[in-house]
Every structure is written in C-alpha cells, then in structure tokens.
Amino acid sequence: MPANSPGGGGREASPTVGALTRGIAGKALPLYLSMLATTAGGMVTAAVLGNSGTAELAAYALVVTVANPALTAVQGALRGSMPFIAENEGDAASLAPVVRSGLWLALLLGAPGGLLVASTALWGRLIGVAAPTLAALGPYPVLMGLFVVAASVRASLTVLLIGLGHSRSVLVLSLVGTVLAVVLTPALVLGAGPLPALGLAGAGVSALAEGSATVALALYASRRRTVLRGHRVRAGLPRWADVVEIARVGLPSGATLLVKFGSLSVLALAVARVGAADAAAHQLLVVIAAFAFLPAAAAGQACVPFVARAAGRGDRDGVRRTVLAGYAVAVPVVAAAIGAVWALSGPFAALLTGDPEVASTVAALVPVLFAVVVADALQSFPGMALLGLKDPRPSLYAFAACYGLMAVVSVPLAGAGGLEPLWWAYAVATAGLVVGQGVAFRRSSARV
C-alpha cells in the first residue's frame, strides 16, 4: 500500500513526550466517553429483558454469548487497517483503496459471524439447550445476525475515523447508538403507546435499527468530514493483496482478544464450580476491572495512529515516546480509580451487593484487583504500539502463553483455595504480559 513520505526533503523533528501526551489525551477522551456510552446501551438492553421474562433473558444470553466474541474478533481484526489509514491520511487517492479493502474485510469476517448467530436455534438444539429457551428465541437470532454484519461494517468505518484522528465523530456515533437503544429497546420490548410488546424480537429490531442508523452516519462522517470529502471511493472488487495485507496485521489482533476473553471465561467457569458467593464476587470484580481499564483502552487506540506515523517517517524515538505518552495519559487515571476503590473498598462493595459475604470477598480482593488492572494498563500500550508497527503477532504469542497457562491452572487453583489464588494467578499472568509485550515492542521498534 502506498504511504505518504515526509515532505521537505529533511527528516521531521520528533515530537516531545509532552506534545504527544496532549495529542493522545485529546483523541482518547472522546473514545473513552464513546466506550461508556456503548456500555450504557448494552446495560439498558439487559435490564429491559430482565423485566420481560426469564426465558427471554436466557435466550438473549445465549445469542449474546456468540455475538459478542464474533464482534470482538471482527473489531480486533479490523484494527489492522489503522496503521495503513494513518500512513495515507493526507492522500485521498491512496486512502480510498485502503478504505475499500477494510470494508471488504469487514464483510468477509462479519458474514460468517452473522450466520453463526442467525443459526442459534439450530446449534442450540444440537448442544441440548433447554426447550423454553429455544422457544423464546423467535426471530431474534436472525435479526442479531444481520446486526453483526452491520456492526462489522460500522467497525471498519470507526477504525477509519480513529486512524484519521476524528475521535469526536466516533463519540457522536456512540451517543446516537445509545440514545436509540435507550428509546427503542424499552418501547419495542415492553410496548409503548400504540406499539405492541414484541419481547425479545423487539430487542433484535432495536439493535438492527441502531446498527443500520449508525452505519449510515459513519458513512456520512467518513465521506464528508475527512480527507475523503469530494473523493469517490469506488465500489466493486477490492485489491485482494491489500485485503490480505490488512488481514495479516489485523487477524492476530482479533485472535489476541479471543484468547483473552476465552481465558477469562475459563476463570468464570472455574469460580462457578466453587460456589455462588465466589462466582458473584468474581463477576463484580470483573465489572470493576473492565470499567477501570477503559481509559487505557481508549488511550491505547488513540496511540496507534501516532505510532504508525512515526514509524512511517523512520522516527524510532517518536515511536517509543508515543508509548511513554500513552502511559502518562492513562496509567495515572487507572491507578487513581482503583486506588479510590481500594481506599473505600468496604462501602464501595456494599453498594454493589446486599450480600455481606460477597461484599467482604470483593473488599478483600481489591489489592489484587489493583495489581491486575494497573498491569493490564501497562501491557496494553506496547501491545497497541506493535499494532501500529504492523507487527501484532508477538502480542498473540504473549497472550497465548500467559493467559493460556492461567486458564490451565485455574480449575485446580480454584478448587484448592477459592477465588483469591485465582485472582493472584490473573495478576501474575498480566504481569507476564507487561514483560512479554515490553520486550517485543523494544525489539520491533528497534527495526524502525
């Protein structure tokens, strides 16, 4: 793929860590807010269905169990186009083929995922899902299968906007999607005014409407608010070599996410074998960790274009300073958030649950939660930098080794000591990622 070369004949001065910190912070804040908005929309759907019926909630959980990993893998793979987008951000003619190839990759990955989701009733029957749950599915799997395809296309456009530095447009998309979810889901599931109560099917209609609307808005933003304004992105077959090149970078990133969430699912199953109180405490700890990690996730994505641009102009110092700037943006925020939870662990745990045993377990494990989340934030920036350098395979290897070993020992650890040793194993695995990702990034950046 063609990339712009720095102009002026001479080499550009490397930005300082302070300048990079300000730039990353400005791009990361809208991404962070968009993640919060998306999370809020998902919570509304789950809450509404929880008031609709037990069978429908179980059917929803069954479909989401497949839809979420499918979308996670697609979104991770599509990040592979981000460095190519950043390299060609000033040249619409060179950028257009990258965009087209990214859209084709989204369809190629999203269609199988959508088909798997749409066939939930078929494979659910084969694996022995309870009859009431299968009966409650109705048209929901088909609607969600179409949503997966739409969300995949939207993800390719979102990556384009992030790669070009249009984080505020991404925030607008998320806010629109959240508003639609908050308005449409209760109205269609429970019925409102002249609208009949559609139950689970209403949640599917709401998701598909939200997905379609945000795809249209993303197309508008990418065509009217970026360098592509006035430039035709022609339809038709892509350059398959470009699709393969993006996939070569993106698929290891998507696989890394699958390894991570698959291993965490093994942890949840291991805890579930111990007892209900430990399982509930584990889930609360996971929720706290996910929210605390969001600033690092947002800043990590914002770092990728900065890394790609620095690598494109041969600026090794700029690549490494970008990671330092990412740390400066996110790690203090993450540490402060978990530190506040640690300082107020007793009252905070009591707010999350009315069960004293669960609350005391959560409060007792906040120190190890601190270790897990801070280490996760530290490892994320070298990992995202490797993506910007188009070399994400070391991340996949590191996750497979560290999280794979954690998954292997999770069941015997939980059986022997309950939740605490399991979370210490989680902390050790995440600390291993800090070392593995850091070493891999240093080696990869040395080749810039």
Q: How far apart are CA 130 and CA 126, in angstroms?
A: 11
The torsion angles phi and psi of 46, rounded to 5 degrees, stand at -65, -40
Range name among 48-62, 101-115, 327-341, 354-368 with the lowest pLDDT average: 48-62
pLDDT digits (tens, 9 = 90+) for 355-413: 888 888 889 999 999 999 999 999 999 999 999 999 999 999 999 999 999 999 998 99
Residue 206, CB-side half-sphere exposure with 13 Å CA sphere: 31
- pLDDT value at residue 93: 87
The torsion angles phi and psi of 28, rounded to 5 degrees, stand at -75, -35
Tokens of 336: 């402060």
Contact 281, 115 (CB under 8 A): no
Higher pLDDT, 223 or 114: 114
Residue among 296, 342, 350 at smallest CA distance from 323: 296
Q: Calculate Rg over the CA atoms of the chain.
A: 22
Residue type for 100, please? R
pLDDT digits (tens, 9 = 90+) for 109-141: 999 999 999 999 999 898 888 888 889 899 999
pLDDT digits (tens, 9 = 90+) for 190-220: 887 777 888 889 999 999 999 999 999 999 9
| C-alpha dihedral sign at 83, 84, 88, 89 | negative
* Helices 276-312 and 316-343: angle between axes, nearest 10 degrees: 160
Contact 334, 293 (CB under 8 A): yes
CB atoms within 10 A of CB 244: 11
Q: How far apart are CA 131 and CA 138, in angstroms?
A: 12
Higher pLDDT, 314 or 229: 314
| C-alpha dihedral sign at 271, 277, 280, 285 | negative
Q: How far apart are CA 237 and CA 416, in angstroms?
A: 56
The model scores a pTM over 0.85: yes
- pLDDT value at residue 396: 96
Q: How far apart are CA 271 and CA 281, in angstroms?
A: 9
Contact 403, 323 (CB under 8 A): no
CB atoms within 10 A of CB 17: 17
- Residues with Cβ within 8 Å of 364's Cβ and at least 6 positions away in sequence, in order, are 420
- Residues with Cβ within 8 Å of 377's Cβ and at least 6 positions away in sequence, in order, are 293, 295, 296, 330, 331, 334, 335
| C-alpha dihedral sign at 82, 88, 91, 92 | negative
Average pLDDT of span 245-267: 92
- pLDDT value at residue 52: 66
10 pLDDT more than 50: no
Q: What is the mean pLDDT of the chain?
A: 89
Q: Which residue has the tokens 């300000």?
A: 22
- Residues with Cβ within 8 Å of 122's Cβ and at least 6 positions away in sequence, in order, are none
Residue among 383, 352, 378, 380 at smallest CA distance from 366: 352
Contact 181, 214 (CB under 8 A): no
Residue among 75, 4, 1, 21 at smallest CA distance from 227: 4
Q: How far apart are CA 34 and CA 214, in angstroms?
A: 13
The torsion angles phi and psi of 315, rounded to 5 degrees, stand at -100, 85
Range name among 103-117, 150-164, 186-200, 408-422 with the lowest pLDDT average: 186-200
7 pLDDT more than 90: no
| C-alpha dihedral sign at 110, 114, 116, 117 | positive
Provide DSSP, 157-204. Answer: HHHHHHHTT-HHHHHHHHHHHHHHHHHHHHHHHH--TTS---THHHHH
Contact 260, 297 (CB under 8 A): no
CA angle 385, 293, 286 (to 5 degrees): 130
Q: How far apart are CA 147 and CA 201, in angstroms?
A: 13
- With a pLDDT cut of 70, the percent of the chain lying above it is 96
Residue type for 411, please? V
Average pLDDT of span 284-297: 91
